[in-house]
Amino acid sequence: MTDIRTFRIGAIPGDGVGAEVVAAGRRVLDALASDSGGRFGFDWQEFPWGSDFHARTGRMMDEDGLDRIRDLDALYFGAVGWPTVPDHVSLWGLRLRICQSFDQWANVRPVTFLPGVTSPLRKADHTELDWVVVRENSEGEYAGLGGRNLSARGRGGEVAVQSALFTEVGCERIIRFAFDLARTRTRKKVSSVTKSNAQQYGMVLWDDVFARVAADYPDVEHESVLVDAMSAKFVLKPEDLSVVVASNLNADILSDLGSALAGSLGLAASANLNPERRFPSMFEPVHGSAPDIAGQGVCNPIGAVGSAALMLEHLGLSDEAARIHRSIEATTGQGVLTRDVGGTAGTEEVTRALIDNLGA
């Protein structure tokens, strides 16, 4: 008898285009499952959390929401953010709540240059570019430490403090993760990014840990670059990059720059990993909810579908993940492109092409 593995996946479409891209990704995953000859399948559980849920309940997710998803095999997330809820409330109430409560400390954001997609980089056409931005996902500038006070002084007199937290444990685990990842790649190089000339405590600790960890990986090239210089390097010397590791905020900004340089934020996939597997990991496109185009059927599903491939890799289905990557390349190579990458296709047309190309 065949052993059927059913993966229990929590789908959290969230806000805006999240619903459209998660639906597209689920169709691609279900197509792979039905093509697997019963080898594996997905038991989807959908959670209607997000800003609409907030309008009804005053919360971004159910009070016992974390307990309801804690034992699932993985989470598949869309996007968060909508004009009806302040952004810091929606982000902290849903995405960051899940990432931080489940210690998803490694946010892996590959930057993939695809056939048929024009990059604004002048070197992209004749240079093979392939980067991964590794974002520290549990502390740094997103530690949530600080407060606002002195509002009694009246308008203009309030103060706010927002502190970044850098722990040696937090720095070391993400830096080791980056070096281990670099060892699996053709170009074995890690670039660490800080602003340690100006931020002389936390980021100098990061630099010190980076130098110490790098000594354990003599086979991997390494460099330490200030964030301002690194943003210039992304544009001017992109062929010199492979794995880029940075704090929560710096990596968020650099990965947006990276995916814009690859053609569009709509292409960018990501994995929020709890590498110890004590909690479920969460897979989501890098892009947000895009209220300006939500509900119009024009958003790019490739970031979400690429995230589904990262989820399959995490679940041990590497061959199926590779099928998705090939299908994405075939689809963009055929010129089936949404308008953010210069095409005219809608979400539905691209999704159908992605499914049709699973045999590519």
How far is 41 from 5, CA to CA, in rounded Å? 6
CB nearer ligand GGG, residue 54 or residue 222: 54
CB nearer ligand GGG, residue 220 or residue 227: 227
Q: How far is the CB of 80 from ligand GGG (least distance, A)?
A: 4
Q: What are phi and psi of 325, to 5 degrees?
A: -60, -45
CB nearer ligand GGG, residue 107 or residue 357: 107
Q: 14-49 burial, b for 16+ CB within 10 Å, e for fewer?
A: bbbbbbbbbbbbbbbbebbbeebeeebbbeeeebeb
How far is 241 from 226, CA to CA, in rounded Å? 14
CB nearer ligand GGG, residue 288 or residue 301: 288
Q: How far is the CB of 304 from ligand GGG (least distance, A)?
A: 9
CB nearer ligand GGG, residue 124 or residue 306: 306
Give whole-number Cα distances, 90 to 144, 224, 273, in Å: 14, 34, 21
Q: How many CB atoms lie within 10 A of CB 12?
A: 26
CB nearer ligand GGG, residue 254 or residue 328: 254
CB nearer ligand GGG, residue 138 or residue 242: 138
Q: How far is the CB of 312 from ligand GGG (least distance, A)?
A: 18
Q: How far is the CB of 94 from ligand GGG (least distance, A)?
A: 9
Gyration radius of the chain over CA positions? 20
List of residues contacting ligand GGG (CB under 6 A)? 79-81, 91, 95, 252, 284-285, 288
Strand 243-246 and strand 189-194: pairing?
parallel
Q: How far is the CB of 162 from ligand GGG (least distance, A)?
A: 14
Q: How far is the CB of 141 from ligand GGG (least distance, A)?
A: 9
The strand pairing partners of 13, in sequence order, are none
Q: How far is the CB of 191 from ligand GGG (least distance, A)?
A: 20
CB nearer ligand GGG, residue 36 or residue 100: 100
Instruction: Tell how far CA 188 is from the center of its chain.
Output: 22
Q: How far is the CB of 252 from ligand GGG (least distance, A)?
A: 4
Strand order through the sheet with 40-46: 40-46, 5-14, 74-79, 282-285, 269-273, 106-112, 130-136, 243-246, 189-194, 221-226
Asked whether the beta carbons of 79 and 18 are under 8 A apart, the reply is yes
Q: What are phi and psi of 141, to 5 degrees?
A: -75, -10
Taking CB atoms, the residue at the shortest distance from ligand GGG is 79
Asked whether the beta carbons of 315 and 73 are under 8 A apart, the reply is yes
CB nearer ligand GGG, residue 121 or residue 273: 273
Q: How far is the CB of 138 from ligand GGG (least distance, A)?
A: 12
Give whole-number Cα distances, 103 to 46, 226, 276, 280, 282, in Å: 22, 27, 9, 9, 11
